[in-house]
Structure 1
């Protein structure tokens, strides 16, 4: 039985270290990438406060397709380069957006989302997925959040 529960008072670097360790433990030796994404989406939902969506979009046939997530139903397909997720996939760079309504071409899957953090998962130089975190709070994410999710994405690159 797994019982991964963060302390609500943890500083962000420690919270993300514990999230990383929990994700590493759950995905270690499991070859099914979808199962690993599902568990990691659940962990992000549990560990990262102030979210209304946490999950993955997978690169499929040159576009992004919805992967495992926690939260409300979401857009199923996102064209490469469109919205925050598509921008992360096209650039291979983290997108930290304080106000999604000010982001050119933002795709509103959930009208409650106000800020977003999207981190590409890169394997052998190619974006294979993105990790997407949405929040109903403006400017919810900062550099510490980006660094924590980037470390998680790097670890997951060979596990999804």
Structure 2
């Protein structure tokens, strides 16, 4: 499915009447089911006043990594850098936390509310180097929409 078609479905989910958690899970499931190389999709958010991220909603295989300290792994690095992080080959990253032996690539895009990085969308792929600038722009757009309901 094209990102254009996915955008309209994300808009529908954002405007839905279910809980925030339900809408975030629905977005994760939509992306994981409709983008061939999005094998795991999740939202991590800052865990209160702690310097760590906590897994909120996801689609894909369950993970043991429900808490990630700032600076650790790709997600933890994005929590500190406030910048997108595209990893074409996870084996080439020294500071990578392996969630599954099948993961070959990862993209993490921070989620901002009022200029503050409050979380991120994290996508793992079993395909090597699948992410393009189009993926980054789409995920930035998704996070802007999500910011409206989590802010």
Check whether TM > 0.5.
Answer: yes
* CA deviation after TM superposition for structure 1 residue 29, in Å: 5.4
Q: Match of 1:66? A: 55
Alignment length, in residue pairs? 147
Question: Aligned with 2:148: secondary structure?
Answer: coil
C-alpha distance in 2, partners of 1:134/1:66? Answer: 14
- In structure 2, C-alpha distance between the alignment counterparts of 1:28 and 1:113, rounded to whole Å: 32
* Counterpart residue number, 1:16: 3
Give the Cα separation in 2 of the matches to 1:102 and 1:77: 23
Q: Which residue of 2 aligns with 1:131?
A: 121
Q: Is the 8 A contact 1:57 1:130 kept in 2?
A: yes
1:32 alignment partner in structure 2: 19
Q: What is residue 95 of structure 2 aligned with on the other side?
A: 105
Corresponding residue for 1:153? 143
Structure 2 portions without partners, runs of 5+: none
Residue from 44, 48, 63 that aligns with 1:57:
44
Which among 104, 113, 117 is matched to residue 107 of structure 2? 117
Spell out structure 1 runs of 4+ moving beyond 6 A.
Answer: none
Distance 1:149 1:53 in 2: 14
Which TM-score applies when normalising by structure 2? 0.90
TM-score of the superposition, structure 1-length normalised? Answer: 0.85
1:91-135 Cα distance to aligned partner (Å, 9 max, x none): 111111101111221000112101001111100111122101111
Long gaps (5+) in structure 1:
1-5, 7-14
CA shift at 1:138, angstroms? 1.1
Q: Equivalents in 1 of 2:145, 2:123: separation in Å? A: 17
